[in-house]
Structure 1
């Protein structure tokens, strides 16, 4: 990310892909730390059910930590989700929304 300030609403609706090209989902909302003026997570919907079936069951989305985001452009690129789902860290566990 180049550090250029952008409107948070620009993230909403963008498709999210892992850095190896697998479709993950679509940004539906963002989680903010208002005091620090930072984005801390992104809520994904329209999930790739093949990736998330064992994690979310019948839920419609997941919240992923913003630190997984590697690039924001026409799409959002994140760290490889499959690896993260197989070995989640306690603080990085996905939360169904």
Structure 2
């Protein structure tokens, strides 16, 4: 994207990859702040089951904080989620699971 404001609905359907090139999932929805002024999270579905096998038992998706997003273009690039999910004492782990 070139910095021009875009409709938030353009995020829906985009594939999400870690900055290491690992497929994470596909954006199914977005979470907004109370005033609707900013995206605060991405709801992912069509997950990479190998990546989330220990985290999503019986669940269909995850919610990731938007602050993990590094870039948005044809795909969404996020910080390396594998490292974040493997830290059991991380505050952000609780935010990752829906």
Please, what TM-score do these two structures have when normalized by structure 1?
0.90
Stretches of 4+ aligned residues off by more than 3 angstroms: none
Please say if residues 68 and 78 of structure 1, whose CA atoms lie closer than 8 Å, have aligned partners that are also in contact: yes
The answer for unaligned runs of 5 or more in structure 1 is none
Q: Distance in 2 between matches of 1:18 and 1:32?
A: 22
Equivalences for residues 1-97 of structure 1 within 5 A: 3-35=3-35, 37-87=37-87, 89-93=90-94, 94-96=96-98
Q: CA RMSD in A?
A: 1.6
Please say if residues 70 and 79 of structure 1, whose CA atoms lie closer than 8 Å, have aligned partners that are also in contact: yes
Q: Distance in 2 between matches of 1:67 and 1:48?
A: 20
Q: Distance in 2 between matches of 1:4 and 1:34?
A: 23
Give the total of aligned pairs.
Answer: 96
The answer for unaligned runs of 5 or more in structure 2 is none
Structure number with higher strand proportion: 1
